[in-house]
Structure 1
Amino acid sequence: MSAPLGYDLIVQQLIPGYASLARLAVALLAASPLASRTGAGVLVAGCGTGAELVEARAQRPDWQLTAIDPSAEMLAAAQKRLGSEGIQWRQTTVEELQADACFAGALSVLVLQSLPDDGTKLAFLTALARSLEPGGQLVLVDLMAPERSPLQNQVDAAWLGFQRASGLEAEPRDLEPLTQGLHPIGEARLNALVNAAGFSDPARIFQALSYEGFLLQRRP
């Protein structure tokens, strides 16, 4: 995914609650038993333009951060925003990183939704679990497939209304990486995947329309 001009503002106008989501994700991880340790190693998988990194640096400047993203454009935008102090930058995927039990915690925001459910989602989650110390926690946030409801049309209309009220004026081509070619799954499927990957059952910690966040813990 490239980093369009004004990417962070576009995401805030597109996704309800996004402006405070990075702050919440970092606070949750900082309260976990392992990542609460001074100097804990934390992985930001799919760091994008660095929203979670900004919050991590503000809340836990002692963390040893590793930021990965397959997009050179996204990494360049994040590096320009944050510099290099205290952050190890890698243009790679978590599967290619091959970091076994290296991290006390991890953050993955709006990444799983872009992966097809043909084994790719499971490979991503398995690699994340493998990268964590036993007991390490992951904050996972993604677009989820909505449950069947007679009110779903109203929810969809409300999402468009939220975007208009937020002043979203992005060009369609700038929205494509965020709205097209996505592969959301339902909660039952997510439970099956995270358990197969080596995590405990997910605990929901955030929901705004069809965007949901979960706290997961690697099993011992």
Structure 2
Amino acid sequence: MAVPQGYDLVVQQLIPGYASLARLAVALLAASPKAGRAGAQVLVAGCGTGAELVEARAQRPDWRVTAIDPSAEMLAEAQQRLGEAGIVWRQSRVEELQADACFAGALSVLVLQSLPDDGTKLAFLSALARSLEPGGQLVLVDLMAPERSPLQAQVDAAWLGFQKASGLPAADGELSALTHGLHPIGTARLTALVNAAGFSDPARVFQALGYEGFLLQRAA
């Protein structure tokens, strides 16, 4: 998969608050009992072009970070941005890592949404849970399916208005191509999946239109 031109700018134009989302995700994990330790091992699952890695380096340069992504192009973009120092790079999916209980914490931003709910989402979440120490935490951010509401049409229109006001070129009545082909789920389904994977109930820590962030903890 090629990296879309200007990917980081497009995502900022698409998601309200995205510019500070990586900062919030890292700060949440840094405040956790496990990943808060000096020199903690942290996994960034689906590192993309490296927004969370930039924040991790700024806030917690002591962390021993493993960054994975199945896309060679995304990894190359992130490596060019950050260099080699202090980061272990792997072109891999979390299901292939075989890193049982290796990490004190993990970040997964805009990854689960791209996986179909045919067992693939559960396999991804289960692999993340296995990779964490008991009590380790995961910050998960994704596009969520909207709840039924008579105001949903207004929310969708506001999202298009936000994109237009942010300078994102898009055809009238269409969301960005980055939202096409995704598989968002609702909060009830997410709760069922994370519980089945071995996590606690999700605690919501971020919401902007359809995008929501959750803090999860692996069962001790």
**1:143 matched residue in structure 2:** 143
> Residues 182-215 of structure 1: CA distance to partner in whole angstroms, max 9, x if unpaired?
0000000000000000000010000000100000
Q: Contact 1:10/1:170 (CA < 8 Å) preserved in 2?
A: no
Matched ranges for 1:28-107 at <5 A: 28-107=28-107
How far the C-alpha of 1:127 sits from its partner, in A, is 0.1
How far the C-alpha of 1:102 sits from its partner, in A, is 0.3
Residue identity (%):
86
- What RMSD, in angstroms, separates the aligned Cα atoms of the two structures? 1.0
> Residues 49-86 of structure 1: CA distance to partner in whole angstroms, max 9, x if unpaired?
00000000000000000000000000000000000100
> Residues 106-134 of structure 1: CA distance to partner in whole angstroms, max 9, x if unpaired?
00000000000000000000000000000
How far the C-alpha of 1:35 sits from its partner, in A, is 0.4
Matched ranges for 1:157-196 at <5 A: 157-169=157-169, 175-176=176-177, 178-196=178-196
Residue type of the alignment partner of 1:59:
Q
Which piece of structure 1 moves more, 161-170 or 140-149?
161-170
Residue type of the alignment partner of 1:58:
A
Q: Contact 1:191/1:202 (CA < 8 Å) preserved in 2?
A: yes
How far the C-alpha of 1:170 sits from its partner, in A, is 6.8
CA distance in 2, matches of 1:129, 1:15: 27
Runs of 4+ in 1 over 4 A off after TM superposition: none
How far the C-alpha of 1:169 sits from its partner, in A, is 2.5
CA distance in 1, matches of 2:158, 2:169: 17
Q: Contact 1:68/1:93 (CA < 8 Å) preserved in 2?
A: yes
Unaligned regions of 5+ residues in structure 1, if any? none
Q: Contact 2:135/2:219 (CA < 8 Å) preserved in 1?
A: yes
Matched, 1:12 2:12: yes
Unaligned regions of 5+ residues in structure 2, if any? none
CA distance in 2, matches of 1:136, 1:170: 40
Residue type of the alignment partner of 1:97:
L
**1:113 matched residue in structure 2:** 113
Look up the SS of the partner of 1:212 in the other structure: strand
